[in-house]
Amino acid sequence: MVNIMEANTITKNAGTAVLEDRAHTGTQESAERKPVFKTNNFNLWYGDNHALQDINLRFNQNEVSAIIGPSGCGKSTFVKALNRMVELVPIVRTEGEILYRDQDIFNRKMTVEELRTKVGMVFQKPNPFPKSIYDNVAYGPRVHGIRKKKILDEVVEKSLRDAAIWDEVKDRLNENAYGLSGGQQQRICIARALATEPDVILMDEPTSALDPISTTKVEDLMHELKKNYSIIVVTHNMQQAARVSDTTAFFYQGYVVEHDDTKVIFENPRDQRTEDYVSGRFG
């Protein structure tokens, strides 16, 4: 009887030549799928540690792009590079390009403030400010100089509606955000990210601290949000990547093993390492 693991290896080896061509290339370009982010031979070092190696990826507008990979493979580092948060670490050095809407984010023409206005971020643990729900969401617009109560009210309501939490909090906007459940806090954080009208939302394991129902709500939300925004989400939950994303990139030891439509990654990946990882056999 053929051993399943061996059988898979045999099948995969046949595709090695194809793989060499595809690795690092990302999904196919097409007219309908406009890129929001493109990286060209992007490399990143933490001191001597070469954490990201020759990353060539493309993330499209109005899509959910998932990044998966074992711990320490560089997923979070990569996402933090996209809005230059990684520069907060003093020993970081980068090479290559990251283009946001065809503009190099490391170019002096683009300020960090400009970039982060367009590229919002949601983190693993809900991190609302110790303020009221209203003030949490209004924080960004206020920093951007919006003072008029009427405009702020509109922005807060729209953001909370877009984050699918308006109905749950509309009667207690002045209560402290800490009084909400974890899932609600996370959606407040998403609303806070939406309030500055970003173009792209980066999510670093947005549901790993949430219960299953809250997770479902955030996943449904991603489906809704991609109509108006582009989302790049890092997740450890393989099924989540399979459910919510249009494309998936598999990172391993600092480089991209495979990047393709999510259907391909989860149904018929080209690389044996991808297959082993998505089926939970390593990582």
Partner 1 sequence: MSYREKYTNDLQSLVNEVIDLGHICYERLQGATGLLSREDITPARELVAGDKEVNRLEYNINSHAVTLITTQAPVATDTRIIISSIKIAYDLERISDNISNLGEVRKRVKITNEKLLLRLSTMEQLASLMLKDVYTAYQEQDASLCEEVYERDKDIDSLFVHVTTSDIFEETDLFITGQSQLCAKYLERIGDHVKNIAEHVYFVLTGEKIEKLD
How many residues sit close enough to partner 1 to count as binding (CB under 8 A)? 23
Instruction: Point out which span in 8-16, 141-149, 171-179, 199-207 binds partner 1 (CB under 8 A).
Output: 8-16
Among 155, 193, 233, 238, the residue binding partner 1 under the rule CB under 8 A is 238
Pairing of strands 58-60, 247-252: unpaired
User: 43-79: b or e for each residue (b if 16 or more CB lie within 10 Å)?
Assistant: bbbeeeebbbbbbbbbbbbbbbbbbbbeeebbbbbbb
Provide, rounded to whole angstroms, the least separation between the CB of residue 225 and partner 1. Answer: 25
Residue 280 binds partner 1, judged by CB under 8 A:
yes
- In contact, 152 and 139? CB cutoff 8 Å: no
Q: Fill in the per-residue mask, 47 to 86: x = in contact with partner 1 (CB under 8 A), - = not in contact.
A: ----------------------------------------
Provide, rounded to whole angstroms, the least separation between the CB of residue 178 and partner 1. Answer: 35
- Residue 190 vs 278, nearer CB to partner 1: 278
C-alpha separations of 249 from 173, 177, 181, 257, 264 in Å:
38, 34, 31, 8, 11
Residue 7 binds partner 1, judged by CB under 8 A:
yes
Residue 5 binds partner 1, judged by CB under 8 A:
yes
Residue 279 binds partner 1, judged by CB under 8 A:
yes
Among 90, 134, 242, 248, the residue binding partner 1 under the rule CB under 8 A is 242
- Residue 169 vs 242, nearer CB to partner 1: 242
DSSP state of 210: S
Helix (H, G, I), strand (E, B) or coil at 62: coil
Provide, rounded to whole angstroms, the least separation between the CB of residue 237 and partner 1. Answer: 10
* Bridge partners, residue 44, by sequence: 52, 94
- Residue 35 vs 269, nearer CB to partner 1: 269
Provide, rounded to whole angstroms, the least separation between the CB of residue 23 and partner 1. Answer: 18
Size of the chain, expressed as the number of residues it contains: 283
Distance between CA atoms of 48 and 102, rounded to whole angstroms? 30
Distance between CA atoms of 196 and 142, rounded to whole angstroms? 9
C-alpha separations of 192 from 125, 137, 148, 154, 270 in Å:
14, 4, 18, 13, 39
Instruction: Point out which span in 46-54, 92-100, 218-226, 234-242 binds partner 1 (CB under 8 A).
Output: 234-242
Helix (H) or strand (E) holding 66: strand 64-68
Residue 239 binds partner 1, judged by CB under 8 A:
yes
Residue 4 binds partner 1, judged by CB under 8 A:
yes
**Residue type at position 280:** G
- Residue 126 vs 269, nearer CB to partner 1: 269
First to last CA, the chain: 27
Residue 11 binds partner 1, judged by CB under 8 A:
yes
Residue 16 binds partner 1, judged by CB under 8 A:
no
Residue ranges binding partner 1 (CB under 8 A): 1-5, 7-8, 10-11, 238-239, 242, 266-269, 275, 278-283
